[in-house]
Amino acid sequence: MMYYTLCLALSLSMQAGSSDDAALEGVSADTRASNSTDGGAVLPENTPELTFDITPGAWLLRIRGDASNGANAPELKLDTQLGLTDLITAFRGEAVIARGDWSVRISGSTFNTSGSTTAEEFSEWGSIQLSPGLDFTSTFDMAFASAEAGWRAWNPLGEAQLSKEHPLRLGFGPHVGISWLDIDQTLTASGETVSNGSAWWSVWGGANLDFEFDMKRFVSWMDSIRVYAMGGLGGTPVDGGFMWHAGGGFQFFFTPNIAASIGYRYEKYSLNDGDWSVNPNFQGLFLGATIQF
């Protein structure tokens, strides 16, 4: 009888121990889940990665437009009448930070140029009176920076990224931007110099279009080609008027991370500061190299 009693007690003890172990494992699992939740939100596995495209290059541009300096001064062409006819090689840098269909484009450039010419008619520039046959020189310095937020709202081919199954990609969407532009201009004649300078802020809205196709199936030395176009309309709210910009180009990716870029940039502004008015447009080829990571 005592033997059966001892066996029953041992069996009950083992069942109790198993129940305690199961309870402890349940508490441990709950604790791990709680700790994972308390540690903060974890991005889903399908969240697009953050990418950076950096394109330093040369902007081969010419200045067009007109300017005046004086209450009733006539407008003079920046190139033919103020002597700013040279082809300018300016540094220009562009960077695109993107995650999925959202992106931010940052651009900047700076240059200075000068020219000499002869007045062909009676005119004035500030306190300087220009008369036919008078030789004079002028200078023009510019620096600008801009930021543009874009959304690829429509992918008509259905995929936002290239793949073996989807060798073509097409995207279209809106963007909004803001820019800062600084201009300094001088004119010197008969030993007298008139200098003007100011900075302006401009805002705009527009649209982007980009098309990309896989080249690996055709050639071994190129990964893909990207074609893009963009344009926007806006204005300079303080001491300015209408502005617009347009651009486009090609990027030839020899590897998934390195590309040669060739494009065109056009920017037009209407600006004034007191009696000085300048309405430049900057236009020319943009040649550079893109690094993507």
Residue 142, burial from CB neighbour count under 10 angstroms (0-12, 13-18, 19+): buried
Q: For residues 150-155, give the mean pLDDT.
A: 94
Asked which of 20-29, 172-181, 245-254, 271-280 is least confident by mean pLDDT, the reply is 20-29
Q: Compare 160 and 179 and report the one with higher pLDDT.
A: 179
In the chain, domain spans: 1-42, 50-292
DSSP for residue 293: -
DSSP for residue 84: -
Nearest Cα to Cα of residue 69 among 183, 191, 192, 195: 195
Nearest Cα to Cα of residue 268 among 235, 238, 239: 235
At residue 38, does pLDDT exceed 90? no
CB 273 within 8 A of CB 126: no
pLDDT of residue 7: 41
Please give the CATH superfamily to which domain 50-292 belongs: OMPT-like (2.40.128.90)
DSSP for residue 240: B
| Triad 112, 203, 62: Cα angle to 5° | 30
| 43 — pLDDT class (breaks 50, 70, 90) | low
pLDDT of residue 164: 78
The number of beta carbons lying within 10 Å of the beta carbon of residue 225 is 15
Asked which of 19-33, 55-69, 154-168, 274-288 is least confident by mean pLDDT, the reply is 19-33
Asked which of 56-65, 162-171, 182-191, 205-214 is least confident by mean pLDDT, the reply is 162-171
pLDDT of residue 273: 97
Q: For residues 205-215, give the mean pLDDT.
A: 96
Q: For residues 86-107, give the mean pLDDT.
A: 97
Task: List pLDDT tens digits, range 102-132.
Answer: 999 999 999 999 999 999 999 999 999 999 9
User: Residue 20 corresponds to which amino acid?
Assistant: D
Q: For residues 26-30, give the mean pLDDT.
A: 44
pLDDT of residue 162: 78
Q: Compare 163 and 88 and report the one with higher pLDDT.
A: 88
pLDDT of residue 161: 78
| 31 — pLDDT class (breaks 50, 70, 90) | very low
d(CA 245, CA 236): 13
Question: Rounded to a whole number, what is the distance in angstroms from the first to the last CA of the chain?
Answer: 80
pLDDT of residue 118: 97
